Structure 1
Amino acid sequence: MPPRFVDLKREIAASYPDFEARVTRAWNEVLQQLDAASKEIVVEGQNVIPQVKFDDLAKLSPEEVEKIKRRGCVVIKDVVDDAEVAEWKASLDAFVQANPSVPGFPATDKQFFHLYWTKAQVLARAHPNVLKASSWLNELYHVKNTSGIEGVDLSTPLTYADRFRIRHPGVAWEVHPPHVDGGSIERWEDETFRTCFADILSGDWRKHDPYDLENRINAKSSLYGRPGQASIFRTFQGWLALGPTGPHQGTIRFFPDVLLSNAYLILRPFFSLKPTPVTENNLDAQNWQFDISKPDFPGIYGRDSGFTGPRPNDGSHPHLRLNETMTSVPEVNGGDMVFWHCDLVHSVETEHNGSGDSAVMYIPAVPTTPQNSEYVKRQRETFVKGVTPPDFEKTSPESEYGAGIATPDDIVGIVGKKAMGFQISVA
């Protein structure tokens, strides 16, 4: 890491009174809570991940909603009708077979496709139930201070064009180990983004609210313009299942405690193992010390003139016990959706031992904010032209593929059109 990141750590430390003492106390508390939470996650297994029916979203009890917020993830069942999803899956299969040159990986057996504007994808993003689910998730967030945040509407969803996968059985997949999206070193380097974690950095980690929107909406999650680094704010990332998939079938996995993982990830750069252990157990808090003498931010790596991560592992973030705690999502069917908080540690199973494709379309929940609205305007123009959306590495124009690529006329419904940035005039 660049030597200047030592200065960044010192700057952060100088921003909070009694920083060393307060974060050391917080660090010790977080390690103790992580130990207990990790054991609970292992015992509960897949039951730790909340599951609800789409038709029941408005009927959930406060306790059920609170569980979803603490876990930072949820399976929403029956969002889209089975038959409609089956048509989308069939059309995607036909499209990639008819266009073998479409960009994707692995190169010899493409399964993850850098495509954004197929008709199936556009129809799915504009589906009224998908947008209703997005709105419900957006409204789990709140704003403590409403001054100076004009242009925010949690009830009006926007769409973020992303890709899809059709993963085949028996193919090992090493490309998505545990990681967090939506910003890398920016969590510390961007002053506004850093403010989202002010309670953690002040030592009052229990007060940290992952659903406070106030500073999120202006945080810069892409300071370096690295391709593939989202500049839009997603309340929840998500995907729509195009068929059945489940544990050991190449599905997604979570560390299902967004409060604790945030506290640990944000504090981790300020602590290192003592040269001489006090006890034999390296996870013991006694073996760790406050240390801002080095520029490293564990789990953050230089890439493409910018940075990627956090990518925690058992070496960089041992207290997460990721080999034990990363929990696969329970079995889902076509039309079900899986969502996870923008800060949540997640990964994709390395192995797919099922008998059929594990196919999903990536569709996150995106609220209306000034920054997001500006992105969607630029995204709308790329849609009209049939080219790669702004956040992603440029590939050959999809408009060249002809049949199977959507046009604005394929978006049915006012809500879907608004979500894609098209102005709607009402007579």
Structure 2
Amino acid sequence: MAHYASTRKPGNIISAFKANTDESILERYPPLKQELLNANNLKEKLIDSWTRLTKEIENETEEIKRLGPNVIPQVEFSEIAKNGGTFPQDVAKEVKKRGMVVIRNVVSEQEALQYKKDVKEYILNHKGKIAGFPDADPQVWELYWSKSQVAARSHPNFVSVTSAMNSLWHADPETVIDLSMNLTYCDRLRIRKQGDSSFALAEHMDGGSVERWEDPEYRKCFQSILSGEWEKYDPYDATHRVNANMDLYNCSGGCSMFRSFQGWMSLSAVAPGGGTLRVCPIIKLSTAYLILRPLLKDLVETKNMCGALPGAQQHILPEFHQPLIDAVVSIPHVNPGDCVFWHCDGIHAVEECCNSLTDSSVFYIPSTPLCLNNIKYLAKERYAFEEGITPQDFPLNNCEKDFPDRAKPSDLTELGKLGMGFTPLIVDPTVTKELSEGAIKARKEFNKILFPE
């Protein structure tokens, strides 16, 4: 059995927002900005590009304010199932524009409420032994291996939904990615109590921060934006995402897997204002704004990267990003068993107070397609599951290691075993003939890394 040593420190969800303050790192940013302007001939195009962008954001914000939470696309799981496991065309178009979706009734309300009941008992069984935030009265628990979480991640409907989310993406045929296959990413959970105001997250983005400009491969994702042609930017091109380094500075809680969409399964009935998620539903425009903002005249010669700091997630700040904050809206009412997904570059926040009739509870579960970075991480995650320790991306608390009632590999369904890397993938020409060259290679890499001879 391989051993994977984590370099994370103990902590909680807030660890992902604590930056590395090494001044020598910040010195890199003024020359980097000049390099970006010069390499892409952006200096001459920047003002015109920015003017077009901000005007379009103004127009979209008016529409968002008019529609409120209803601007977020909503679809029944049954519609996806009837459509062969993909979104109906009109829904797909709107999801891609907004960068997010609410999918209704992915699991039954009874199943979702049972998940919550069981995980609350799991927490009670180990009172005082589980890290969380805030320390005194956790609302977000550093738990990954409860039987409820493991079951939810591998529920057939949920697996189907993640494949539907992945199918909104595309890549060059030789790109080593199989968008038809989703791997399991094991994240924590939230049980936010009625009246809580401690777990309020301001607007931010995950998936790194300064890495979007610093890492050469990550930067290629935003090439059209950096060339002054943000209109040509495609938020759903995975060609350069698969090898992007989203964690140059060992961010505790930063995701090193490529999540096509972040997501959660609701375990509560929660309305806008009830401590729910808030999002900026203009993914193309918000990403372009974020990438261009540090290159404008007022900041181009400074170390300031507009809320992007080494070792932390991307902060969205009023002094730099107010038009994007103005476009943020709460998601619609969700019920137990509904799932919510938002683009990996999506700006999101959590409402300040849980003004709900019940708790506001979710299992965080994203969609993570089969690609090389994700396979490499899965090998570490599989080991963590076997040992009952914290997955590699998260603060090293290892709370569950000695819990006798945590999930074990023997608890996995066949779908669960496949998603967690306990079952090899079929690489048979009669089965894979419709897959791209890159997708077939991704499957071969899966077997090679997880089942070495």
TM-score, structure 2 normalization: 0.85
Residue 421 (structure 1) shift: 1.0
Matches of residues 132-147 of structure 1 in structure 2 within 5 Å? Answer: 132-143=160-171, 145-147=172-174
Unpaired runs of 5+ residues, structure 1, are 274-290
Identify the match of residue 259 of structure 2 among 234, 242, 259: 234
Q: In the alignment, which residue of structure 1 is the partner of 2:411?
A: 410
Q: In the alignment, which residue of structure 2 is the partner of 1:49?
A: 72
SS state of the match for residue 180, structure 2?
strand
Residue 307 (structure 1) shift: 2.9
Q: In the alignment, which residue of structure 1 is the partner of 2:53?
A: 30
Q: Does the aligned pair in 1 maintain the 2:79–2:88 contact within 8 Å?
A: no
Q: In the alignment, which residue of structure 1 is the partner of 2:33?
A: 9
Identify the match of residue 119 of structure 2 among 67, 92, 113: 92
Q: Distance in 1 between matches of 2:425 and 2:39?
A: 49
- Alpha-carbon distance change, 402 to 3 in structure 1, aligned in 2, over 3 angstroms: same
Residue 175 (structure 1) shift: 4.4
Q: Distance in 1 between matches of 2:228 and 2:297?
A: 17
Q: Does the aligned pair in 2 maintain the 1:243–1:358 contact within 8 Å?
A: yes
Identity %: 38
Q: Distance in 1 between matches of 2:115 and 2:327?
A: 34
Q: In the alignment, which residue of structure 1 is the partner of 2:236?
A: 211
Q: Does the aligned pair in 2 maintain the 1:49–1:73 contact within 8 Å?
A: yes
Residue 409 (structure 1) shift: 1.0
- Alpha-carbon distance change, 424 to 201 in structure 1, aligned in 2, over 3 angstroms: closer
Paired letter, 2:416: G
Q: Deviations over 1:265-287 (max 9, x none)?
A: 000001155xxxxxxxxxxxxxx
SS state of the match for residue 206, structure 1?
helix
Paired letter, 1:48: V
SS state of the match for residue 204, structure 2?
coil
Q: Does the aligned pair in 2 maintain the 1:158–1:419 contact within 8 Å?
A: yes
Q: Distance in 2 between matches of 1:159 and 1:396?
A: 19
Paired letter, 2:418: K
Identify the match of residue 306 of structure 2 among 298, 307, 312: 298
Residue 397 (structure 1) shift: 4.0
Matches of residues 116-155 of structure 1 in structure 2 within 5 Å? Answer: 116-143=144-171, 145-147=172-174, 149-150=175-176, 152-155=177-180
Q: Does the aligned pair in 2 maintain the 1:417–1:424 contact within 8 Å?
A: no
Residue 425 (structure 1) shift: 8.4
Q: Does the aligned pair in 2 maintain the 1:253–1:327 contact within 8 Å?
A: yes
What is the root-mean-square deviation in Å for CA atoms of aligned residues? Answer: 1.5
Paired letter, 2:92: V
Paired letter, 1:94: E
Residue 396 (structure 1) shift: 3.0
Between the two proteins, the alignment pairs up a number of residues equal to 397
Q: Does the aligned pair in 1 maintain the 2:200–2:351 contact within 8 Å?
A: no
Q: Does the aligned pair in 1 maintain the 2:131–2:399 contact within 8 Å?
A: no
Q: Distance in 1 between matches of 2:198 and 2:69?
A: 21
- Alpha-carbon distance change, 14 to 272 in structure 1, aligned in 2, over 3 angstroms: closer
- Alpha-carbon distance change, 425 to 347 in structure 1, aligned in 2, over 3 angstroms: closer
2:107 counterpart of 1:75: no
Q: In the alignment, which residue of structure 1 is the partner of 2:400?
A: 398
Matches of residues 28-427 of structure 1 in structure 2 within 5 Å? Answer: 28-57=51-80, 59=83, 60-101=87-128, 102-143=130-171, 145-147=172-174, 149-150=175-176, 152-273=177-298, 291-301=299-309, 306-320=310-324, 322=325, 324-403=326-405, 405-413=406-414, 415-424=415-424
Q: Does the aligned pair in 1 maintain the 2:167–2:180 contact within 8 Å?
A: yes
Paired letter, 1:311: H
Q: Distance in 2 between matches of 1:114 and 1:43?
A: 38
Q: In the alignment, which residue of structure 2 is the partner of 1:279?
A: none
Q: Distance in 2 between matches of 1:78 and 1:61?
A: 17
Residue 61 (structure 1) shift: 3.9
Q: Distance in 2 between matches of 1:213 and 1:10?
A: 27
Q: Deviations over 1:324-351 (max 9, x none)?
A: 4221111111110000000010000011
SS state of the match for residue 161, structure 2?
helix
Residue 424 (structure 1) shift: 4.3
Q: Does the aligned pair in 1 maintain the 2:265–2:340 contact within 8 Å?
A: yes
Unpaired runs of 5+ residues, structure 2, are 1-22, 427-453
Paired letter, 1:382: A
Q: Does the aligned pair in 1 maintain the 2:263–2:341 contact within 8 Å?
A: yes
Paired letter, 1:310: Q
Q: Distance in 1 between matches of 2:104 and 2:240?
A: 31
Paired letter, 1:24: I
Residue 226 (structure 1) shift: 1.7
Q: Distance in 1 between matches of 2:146 and 2:69?
A: 33
Paired letter, 2:248: L
Residue 26 (structure 1) shift: 0.8
TM-score, structure 1 normalization: 0.90
Q: Deviations over 1:151-186 (max 9, x none)?
A: x21111101100001000111135411000011100
Residue 319 (structure 1) shift: 2.3
Q: Does the aligned pair in 1 maintain the 2:278–2:351 contact within 8 Å?
A: yes
Q: Deviations over 1:217-269 (max 9, x none)?
A: 01000111121111110000000001211211110000111000011000000
SS state of the match for residue 20, structure 1?
coil
SS state of the match for residue 265, structure 2?
strand
SS state of the match for residue 297, structure 1?
coil
Q: In the alignment, which residue of structure 2 is the partner of 1:283?
A: none
Q: Deviations over 1:12-67 (max 9, x none)?
A: 122112x2111221111111111111111111101100000011125444232111
